[in-house]
Structure formats: structure tokens, C-alpha cells
Amino acid sequence: MAVLRLFAAARTAAGTARDLVPGDSVAEILASATERYGDEFAAILPTCAIWVNGDPADGTVAVTDADEVAVLPPVSGGAS
């Protein structure tokens, strides 16, 4: 199982910042996470950037137990 790291709104929706999730590709990892965390997580996921081991990735990227998949929602804010 790959390590799934969740940030900002994705972390809030899932209720955790880190988890072990089964799957052999990014798409399978995200499908498993969606099943585990439910509708709120599923609603946030399409807006997120996905990275594997620090590099941008799409659903076709293969993952192993040694990989880390990060889910990064868009961030806003700053000073005006």
C-alpha cells in the first residue's frame, strides 16, 4: 500500500493527514481513498493537484509500497 498524504481541504474532508491506501496506480489509490473517505472528499478531489514522490502525476502513474501520493487542493489567501 502506498502512503497517501492529504493537505488542506482534502485533509479536512478525510479526517487524516496520512494513510496507507491500496492500489497499483494513482487512479486506483484515489478510487480507494474516495471509497474510504466519502462524498466530501470526492467533491474536493477534482480540484486537486496530485503528486507522486514530489513530481506531478496523473492517474496512469504506477505506484508501489515505497511511493508517496500527495493530494494538494488549490490554496488561496495572502495579504491585500
Which CATH superfamily includes the segment(s) 2-72? Beta-grasp domain (3.10.20.30)
Q: In what order do the strands lie in the sheet with 68-72?
A: 18-21, 2-6, 68-72, 49-52, 55-56
Q: What is the pLDDT of residues 29-70, one digit of tens each?
A: 999 999 999 999 999 999 999 999 999 999 999 999 999 999
Q: What is the C-alpha to C-alpha distance for residues 24 and 64, in angstroms, rounded to an integer?
A: 6
The whole-model pTM stands at 0.91
pLDDT band for position 3 (50/70/90)? very high
Whether the CB-CB separation of 15 and 33 falls below 8 Å is answered with no
